[in-house]
Structure formats: structure tokens, C-alpha cells
Amino acid sequence: MGQRHEFEKLNRQGWEAARSLWRTLHSGTEPPPVSLPGLVLPGERCWGAAPILYARWCAADVDVRYGGFAAVGSPAFVLGASLANSAKNARLRKQAERMAAAQWRWFQNTTAIVTDRGVRCRADGRLLPFDYSTVTGCWPELHNQTLTLEFDRTSPLLLGGPWAVWTSVAVTYHLFGQQALYSGALRPLVE
């Protein structure tokens, strides 16, 4: 019961913060910059930081290790063992192909920092920059609580969770301006 209550609280906070940001931007003003302890981003105005689920879309290198094969016995037994080994190797190859295929990877809970120049995510002990100037696609899905961004030089980024709604409003505004506040993607905030 405690975890569910915490999730509902976080969900409510994320949506309320997104609606508040939408109203602020709709009124023609931007939120005041915030400072985050221990974070220095020269020349950037920080709008805030949010707990977020982070993932990247990419393929992976997968090694296939085939076991040794030896069969001794009658020709029928050797043929049967050889066919069984071939079937096992084919299954291993298919499994490796599925594992290597492009998909969402590296899921982790982290912090997304939204600035006037981009989104910064703490991942694997580093602060990764995702500048607005390199974004080639932006797909906020508020009901799914996700924001997907594509870039010209790196793999796509998925941000998810209750605070992805707030992040979606901020990023959409930075990428497309005030008129984007009235787009279909952000409509759930005003319904």
C-alpha cells in the first residue's frame, strides 16, 4: 500500500507541476531560473530537475558461443546428434539476433535537468547533454507519461514517469515556442 500511495503522490505532483508550467508559459512568462546544489552549467538557465526513467534506443553487439560437438556411435545416432546440434545452434543464432536488435536499453531511474539549452541526464555517473539544437524529433505522449527525443548524432532518448509530463511541456516549449502549448500533444493538460 505504501509504494502505491507514493506512486500516486508522485504522479499527482508531476501532473500538477506540468499544468502549472503550462499556465506560466501560456501567460507569456518563463519560470524563474533555479539553482541546483553542486551543479554548474555555465551560460544555461536551469528550469528544474525531475526524477525520471531514462532509456536509449540502440542495437547491441551480442556474442554467440557454440558448444563443442562430438558424437560416436552408429551412423543414425551421429546423424541425429548432428541434427540436434544444428537445431541448437540455429536457436542460439535466433536468440542472439533478437538480443542484438535495436530496442530500448539501459533503463535506469535518474534525474533529468531541463535548461534553456537542453536536457541533461545523470546516467552511469555522468551528466549527459541532449541539446535542443541537435533534436530532430520530439514525441510527447502525456497519457503514457513518456517523452521520446531523436537526435542528429546520437541514439534516441526515452524519458518516462510522472515527471516526464512536466519535462514534455518544458522541452516542447523550448523546441517549438509558445504556439506548441496548444498542440494536440499537450492538450491533456487543459482538458
- Domain boundaries of the chain, sorted by first residue: 2-59+102-189, 63-101
Contact 62, 96 (CB under 8 A): yes
Q: Which amino acid is at 87?
A: A
pTM equals 0.79
Contact 53, 98 (CB under 8 A): no
Residue 144 CA, distance from chain mean position:
12
2-59+102-189: CATH architecture: Roll (2.30)
C-alpha distances in Å from residue 165, one per residue of 16, 122, 178:
9, 18, 17
- Interatomic CA distance for residues 15 and 108, integer angstroms: 21
Contact 132, 176 (CB under 8 A): no
pLDDT tens for the chain, 191 residues long, are 578 888 888 889 999 999 999 999 999 999 999 998 888 888 999 999 999 999 998 766 767 777 777 777 888 877 777 777 777 777 777 776 676 667 777 889 999 999 999 999 988 888 999 999 999 999 999 999 999 999 999 999 999 999 999 999 999 999 999 999 998 999 988 87
